[in-house]
Structure 1
């Protein structure tokens, strides 16, 4: 009996694969009535791009008062451990063990929900690492915080526009629909029975016109709602994207493109759910209105029908928790499929070159199979309540005909009233189904909101409002340290240096030493964990980001091209640039002649990341994009690495006469000739500083790099 009624572990879905440890800890905490938001747990566990470790989970649990025993054991040992326990799974995942017996285990997987596995499956996937958290003396319960409706304001407003129209049209349709039962009663009781045949044809025409009017109203409603819904979705998508682009880079580093794309779709479904819920409220009112009418027709029979409607609603409520879990699992699986698809088509040439197509197909097929299985499980779970409801509907009609027929035979009811009663009872099914759909949407909505909350609850990156027309060009780093997360490795460690206005500074070092991170800190794309980054004596955080970046030309590794003409791609970030400015920038980057030779010149569309161009041509277009701004500061990350010596020399001859501050990351000695001074980074620290000539004369990291041909 104790086992039967033992408290179940609440399910918390992970938003990304890296969050499984944080979500598992959250489920254990919630089991002990300490409800902590996943975003907070992500910080406590130090979730980074690489996920989290068992030690991080133990330390995070201690913050909330959990005392955790961690050990390695085999499958039989799981019978003795305290439940719930956190298991390490398939070498790259964490989940919660809820129950264990001789036949297998009940797991709560943050990726897919509850599932039962056999002992054989457990033996294959369980790595042996077990964590058993229990409340300690410092443990404190925490109530589950309610959702603030304010952040869903855009979705609610978007839902209201079509909902208002739907409510008005539904009211009109229901009124027109009620005319039909009334006409049925009149035709049977006052025309057919008394044999008033002269009224039969006019009433039949009125009945037909009523049906036609209802059909026309329904058609008009659907057309209007389609337009309103599309406009509402557009407004909602714009608001969502506007918030998304303000989020810090750390948010995107932990989430895949496919996942973010799927959350946009989830948000649009939230709008649809909100509309359905509002209409469900109207349907609830209709249930009472129709119920009152049925009771007026036949009190006992009307109450019987309402009891069956209540039974229908109870059935759906009882199945709601299971349906919610299946909905969450299907959404997560859909996000993975989307992500796998994006990865498969992101760089098809490289995939073919490395023979990776079969592997990518296998990954997508696995994700697609998981999504289909989740969808099938969801449909199977919803089949049982649907069949029960069908039985209840049939039972309702049978009871109406049985008791109604007896009432007619006893002269307690006319045939017309019975026919009208049956018609109203049929009309009652639609609002009762709408009300049930509202209950279903209420069940699905939390899982949708959890995924949207991951975006909406993330605060935009802080920034100031200072927006200078020009920059002097001085840059200072004061004891700057940077890491992606509290538990992540240090990328930069107390770095300090100064760049004078119009000075050209090169940064060299082995891969992973933090060179590109310095450029991103200057741009304000990343914010320092410690210390300050100053531009013209002001912290980067004081600047309005767009204003700062308008005065900084940038070529970062992996620059992006859009499916737009060459002209638009080069002028990106310089909205006021005209054709002549774009051509001058392209000429300076030694790409003007290549562009002019394209079929439509500067109006040629770039497709698929400008794949019709070579790597060197794409790199020169990125340089032209940086130069078209006529920047005060120029940041170059391997901006000429794909160029041959002759082209590189021509590009450098232009850069050499630019009157702007320049920070360049480079490995090739030829690129370093632009620099007046060189900083050498190693493991996030500045280990050498000087000119190319002076550094080459002393042993050290710089000399080692140059001895390797400058390659890192």
Structure 2
């Protein structure tokens, strides 16, 4: 056989060797060789990784060339504009031909927003000139977001310019120019801050404005809030109402002084002398005074209603804003029911305190006026009356404080019952599975019975106070008669005594009212104590946070350590890692090794005990963390969508189109499921209860991808997905060229990563390419995979 001849020889089993260089083995023997299969897998991973890096390099090069071309085109256009302007004698504007109009518009918008904010008692921060710009957000919203101010869209309907709803930012319909809508002298005015021009709004002017305006909500100070500061905050801008309330109260009190004086004159002077005409005149005067007093009291009540509405509109949004700005650890230390009770408790405190003010003002002025009358008629009897009223006031105050003891326990128990009811209803499926409904009912019934007992105790004290209030008036009158018949005999005439006795009665009524006011004010203390933790906690983001600019996706941790309590064990210990822009990093490890804790530190939910987290070389602790998160897509473990339509869940509060929502659903592998639903994107879901676990995860992924962020954080975000759907999600996120930090256990997820970081006991024990780590038989990743496959 010649050297170049080809020899075909079948090998049914075993192996054969031809010479010293070539050999052959049976195909069946090859298929059962594990080492050969492992080598083939390794070669495939190396090949696919190399191809993937090559493709990503081509895509980045294409993006760089495109960006460079756009930049070069803009430079050429700018030079052409400069040459054209120079040719017509206007060279000074060439350098700002493209950006001048936008800059002027932004400056005009900020000037209008600042004028409206000043009228509302808000300090605005000028937005940075550079940084990410979201075209879906209006300039007014961008300014409000940069100053951490909540806003609300207001519809200008009907004769809106005659009702004061607070300062507004509006726009002219034709030009779209912003304008400040400020209340002045009974109607709104359109104010241009640049020119100072003021236009009184009427029907014609209202038609020239867009039917939508924006209202700014004033936030609470970033420092801890005391009760006095909260009262000052809620009363800002209400000076006219308070002034009208005080004037009305003084007029009512002055007219009320006619009653004791007229009583003494009529019964002491006019009746004995049969002065019928004077009696009729006095009666008419008292009647007219009563009508005028009733009218002023009606105006007072209307003023109080308006005052309550304004206080509510300022206070309740400010409390919710404060809640939403608190750090995440604040919510982990308290139940949802407690937080809900605290947030809504401020309304109860406001209602209680707003009713106290007018009553205290009126009772104080009436009491002061009648005290002056008593001293004018008889100083000794006035001192005796004052001593008697002090004793009565002390008794009523003691009864109120006794009632307050049970009231405090009742408020605490009521909040506990609300929290227990909320948790029971939320966990009802689990209770039903465990057949533990009876135990839940027994626990609720025990606390409810205790609350009924406390209510009965407080009710008994209230009934006793009512009885004493009814008895005090005749006792005081009897005491005055005894004093006049004894030690003070002959000190005053019958008419003077009638006036004196009427004044004592009115003074006693004022004292009992003031005692009730003090007790009511004390009853607000337990409610305020429930809200106090919200006011004492500092917001997560303060004014000193720097803007991060446009993030490229680079992430780094330096010697990161964390513990949940000051004396607790370290959950993370000296963790240092780097994520390059566009890199896919998977973090794996046994349960409790600190993976989710590391992710919470990366997104700023917790603060490290030592070390730092950096985004593009900027320390997260010094940045506006909310601005950082707006450039990230985050899907946490067991995340739940909000109640609403699927479109609302995907888009959130930003103005994404339905096409963009469909694209996000496609990237998350959810589009086909949505198409099979009767209402498509408008299908309503309630907390994820109408969809499966896998659909819920894909919905949360679509919510994270709709903004096309530069950084993605996934915490077991694909654990409920099948392999095909997971492949769609991985490919979609790869096309975004975003940095991806994924916590996962499934081998299929880990194998697609550029780098795998293995954690154990709060430390990084291994990291590298997945194929390299799997090839190491004694490695940590190899052991994790072996346990998973066992």
TM (norm. structure 2) is: 0.64
Q: Structure 1 residues 386, 492: CA separation in 2 closer, same or farther (over 3 Å shift)?
A: farther
Aligned to 1:669: 747
The correspondence for 2:302, drawn from 223, 228, 231, is 223
Contact 1:330 1:371 in 2 (8 A): yes
1:641 is the counterpart of 2:746:
no
Q: Secondary structure at the match of 1:490?
A: coil
Q: Secondary structure at the match of 1:507?
A: strand
Aligned to 2:391: 311
- Superimposed CA distance per residue, residues 130-183 of structure 1 (whole angstroms, 9 cap, x where no aligned partner): xxxxxxxxxxxxxxxxx9986742323325746555433332322232233333
Matches within 5 A, 1:445-464: 447-461=526-540
Q: Distance in 2 between matches of 1:613 and 1:523?
A: 28
The correspondence for 1:427, drawn from 506, 511, 514, is 506
Q: Distance in 1 between matches of 2:258 and 2:648?
A: 60
Contact 1:581 1:628 in 2 (8 A): yes
1:681 is the counterpart of 2:755:
no
Aligned to 1:23: none
Offset of residue 555 of structure 1 = 0.5
The correspondence for 1:655, drawn from 702, 727, 733, is 733
Q: Structure 1 residues 593, 158: CA separation in 2 closer, same or farther (over 3 Å shift)?
A: same
1:578 is the counterpart of 2:657:
yes
Aligned to 1:107: none
Aligned to 1:537: 617
1:691 is the counterpart of 2:764:
no
Q: Distance in 1 between matches of 2:444 and 2:624?
A: 41
Aligned to 1:477: 557
Q: Structure 1 residues 694, 542: CA separation in 2 closer, same or farther (over 3 Å shift)?
A: same
Aligned to 1:169: 248
Q: Structure 1 residues 531, 644: CA separation in 2 closer, same or farther (over 3 Å shift)?
A: same
Aligned to 1:157: 233
Contact 1:340 1:367 in 2 (8 A): no
Aligned to 2:440: 360
Contact 2:364 2:514 in 1 (8 A): yes
Unaligned runs of 5+ in 1: 1-146
Matches within 5 A, 1:697-712: 697=775, 698-699=777-778, 701-709=780-788
Aligned to 1:631: 709
Q: Structure 1 residues 329, 408: CA separation in 2 closer, same or farther (over 3 Å shift)?
A: closer
- Superimposed CA distance per residue, residues 455-487 of structure 1 (whole angstroms, 9 cap, x where no aligned partner): 322223366533244211111121111112202
Aligned to 1:567: 647
The correspondence for 1:258, drawn from 301, 320, 337, is 337
Offset of residue 662 of structure 1 = 0.3
Q: Distance in 2 between matches of 1:461 and 1:366?
A: 38
Q: Distance in 2 between matches of 1:582 and 1:562?
A: 16
Contact 1:678 1:691 in 2 (8 A): yes
- Superimposed CA distance per residue, residues 566-601 of structure 1 (whole angstroms, 9 cap, x where no aligned partner): 33322226x253333222212221223444555554
Contact 1:246 1:460 in 2 (8 A): yes
Offset of residue 387 of structure 1 = 5.1
Aligned to 1:346: 426
1:188 is the counterpart of 2:264:
no
Aligned to 1:30: none
Q: Distance in 2 between matches of 1:304 and 1:680?
A: 86
Q: Distance in 1 between matches of 2:696 and 2:678?
A: 17
Q: Structure 1 residues 579, 155: CA separation in 2 closer, same or farther (over 3 Å shift)?
A: farther
Q: Distance in 1 between matches of 2:244 and 2:592?
A: 57
The correspondence for 1:528, drawn from 608, 612, 615, is 608
Offset of residue 552 of structure 1 = 0.5
Q: Structure 1 residues 200, 593: CA separation in 2 closer, same or farther (over 3 Å shift)?
A: farther
Aligned to 2:580: 500
Q: Structure 1 residues 192, 426: CA separation in 2 closer, same or farther (over 3 Å shift)?
A: same
Greater shift in the superposed pair: 169-178 or 458-467: 458-467
Q: Distance in 2 between matches of 1:148 and 1:583?
A: 44
Aligned to 1:290: 370
Offset of residue 283 of structure 1 = 4.0
Q: Secondary structure at the match of 2:478?
A: helix
Q: Structure 1 residues 311, 159: CA separation in 2 closer, same or farther (over 3 Å shift)?
A: farther
Q: Secondary structure at the match of 2:447?
A: helix
Offset of residue 262 of structure 1 = 2.6
Q: Secondary structure at the match of 1:486?
A: coil
Q: Structure 1 residues 405, 479: CA separation in 2 closer, same or farther (over 3 Å shift)?
A: same
Contact 1:180 1:207 in 2 (8 A): yes
Offset of residue 206 of structure 1 = 4.4
Q: Structure 1 residues 282, 221: CA separation in 2 closer, same or farther (over 3 Å shift)?
A: closer
Contact 2:644 2:684 in 1 (8 A): yes
Q: Structure 1 residues 694, 471: CA separation in 2 closer, same or farther (over 3 Å shift)?
A: same
Q: Distance in 2 between matches of 1:292 and 1:581?
A: 75
Aligned to 1:140: none
Q: Secondary structure at the match of 1:656?
A: helix
Q: Structure 1 residues 387, 590: CA separation in 2 closer, same or farther (over 3 Å shift)?
A: same
Contact 2:585 2:756 in 1 (8 A): yes
Choose 1 or 2 for highest CA Rg. Answer: 2
Q: Distance in 2 between matches of 1:428 and 1:359?
A: 56
Aligned to 2:312: 233
Offset of residue 322 of structure 1 = 4.8
1:510 is the counterpart of 2:580:
no
TM (norm. structure 1) is: 0.71
The correspondence for 1:490, drawn from 556, 559, 570, is 570
Matches within 5 A, 1:322-337: 322-323=402-403, 325-337=405-417
